[in-house]
Amino acid sequence: MEKKFSNMETQVIHSGSQNDLLGSLTMPIFQTSTFTFASAEQGERRFAGEEDGYIYSRLGNPTVKALEERIALLEGAEAGLAFGSGMAAVSAVLLALTKSSDHIICSQGLYGCTYGLLELMEEKYNITHSLSFMENEEQIRSLIRPETVCIYIETPINPTMKIIDLELVSKIAYEYGIPVVVDNTFSSPYLQQPLKHGCDIVLHSATKYICGHGDVVGGLAAGKKDFIDKVAKTTLKDIGGIMAPFDAWLLLRGLKTLPVRMDRHCENAARISEKLKSHPMIEKVLFPGDPEHPDYPIMRKQMKQGGGLISFTIKGSKQDAQTLMNSLKLIQIAVSLGDAETLIQHPATMTHAVIPENKRIEMGITDQLIRLSVGLEKWEDLWEDLEQALNFCMR
Ligand code: LCS
């Protein structure tokens, strides 16, 4: 039985297929690799697509399907799909959209491994890409070529926190019949629903806010049923980056508290951003929820709140950035984001180290840039830790 609700706080708990088996409150974990057929003929019908039903867990699994239905509803999409990692989702979607010698337009700033994938696609299949901040119509139009097959956006951009105007991009892309893919990892569907702004496909590293507890690596995609079915039957099924049932179960559990967690992440980040701005060791704070952030008006248009991530540059060198991180006592040094624990990382030497230095600098990722994923702790405790570390660096 499928239930639909209009408020996300209720949707994250009740929407999608409900399990009726034995009345269990939560979806069971269907920890099985394969499904038996009542007869050889039934197996034939299922493979031929003439009869609904499960076949083999790489082609579909009930626990995973419950998550796929839920992400589709949360993103306002026709269908959803789960993957073994965010990168499995990114690669399956990009490979489904492209063929050899095509061209992709991307945001000037991408997660390091997404950039690595684009380089790989160019090297192996001559699929080229152009990077742009997409600040106005001319900038976007000037990059569109006959062989351009998609526009791929991160917003907010990891880790520079620039915001791309989704309505502007999708309006132009629509004129040319080019699909717009949005990596919505930094916002989660609670803060931003790209399809409502005219975009076509939405992706997540579910490892982050969707999970929320730092214990799963997973990916999700959502969009039109035709496209999602195509990915399911090709670049997911045949490349094989599927999600395990237990991970889907953990993500369904994590999703239930997404709105509650996001409100706290956002509030904590806003408090910390204000405090950071007034510290003499800080050069610049990059936080989309700050009214002084240059993209604040676009953020207000398409996001519910500014998010839980803050990047900032310090006055000093790479060594000073590392000293600052090493001086923290509560905040932990780790990549990933969106967890209950506040995490700090140095993009130039960690998440974005694979990007050549000149390209990295063009994106705004300098040695002085530090990214903070603000967790769910009491914000005063977080600030106390940051302040003592910043003060230590100034000595
Ligand atoms: N997209 C974005 C925006 C990401 O930040 C990441 C991972 C991915 C896709 C890939 O997802 P994964 O395969 O790891 O689930 N971002 C990371 C980060 O910023 N720190 O560690 C991983």
- Tell me the per-residue pLDDT of 96-106, one tens digit each, with 9 for 90 and over: 999 999 999 99
Average confidence score pLDDT of the chain: 96
Q: How confident is the model at residue 277 (pLDDT cuts 50, 70, 90)?
A: very high
Lowest mean pLDDT: which of 11-25, 45-59, 126-140, 271-285?
11-25
Give domain 259-393's CATH architecture. Answer: Alpha-Beta Complex (3.90)
Is the CB of 29 within 6 Å of ligand 1? no
d(CA 64, CA 218): 11
Residue 170 has pLDDT above 70, yes or no: yes
**Ligand 1 site-directed mutation target among 83, 87, 111, most atoms within 8 Å of CB:** 111
Is the CB of 185 within 6 Å of ligand 1? yes
Q: Which residues contact 377 (CB under 8 A, 6 or more apart)?
A: 268, 330, 340, 341, 342
In the prediction, which pLDDT does 16 show?
77
**What is the pTM for the complete model shown?**
0.97
d(CA 301, CA 274): 22
Ligand 1 mean position, distance from CA 205 (Å): 6
Burial of 66 (0-12, 13-18, 19+ CB in 10 A): buried
Pairing of strands 148-154, 103-107: parallel
Q: Ligand 1 atom 5: the closest Cα is on which residue?
A: 111
Per-domain residue ranges for the chain?
A: 8-255, 259-393
Q: Ligand 1 atom 15: the closest Cα is on which residue?
A: 86
Q: How confident is the model at residue 20 (pLDDT cuts 50, 70, 90)?
A: low
Residue 14 tokens read as: 């009740």
Is the CB of 154 within 6 Å of ligand 1? yes
- On whether the 8-255 domain is CATH 3.40.50.10480, my answer is no
Is the CB of 87 within 6 Å of ligand 1? yes
Residues 49-66: tens digit of each pLDDT: 999 999 999 999 999 999
8 Å CB contact between 62 and 68: no
Is the CB of 375 within 6 Å of ligand 1? no
Q: Which residues contact 248 (CB under 8 A, 6 or more apart)?
A: 61, 63, 64, 66, 67, 82, 218
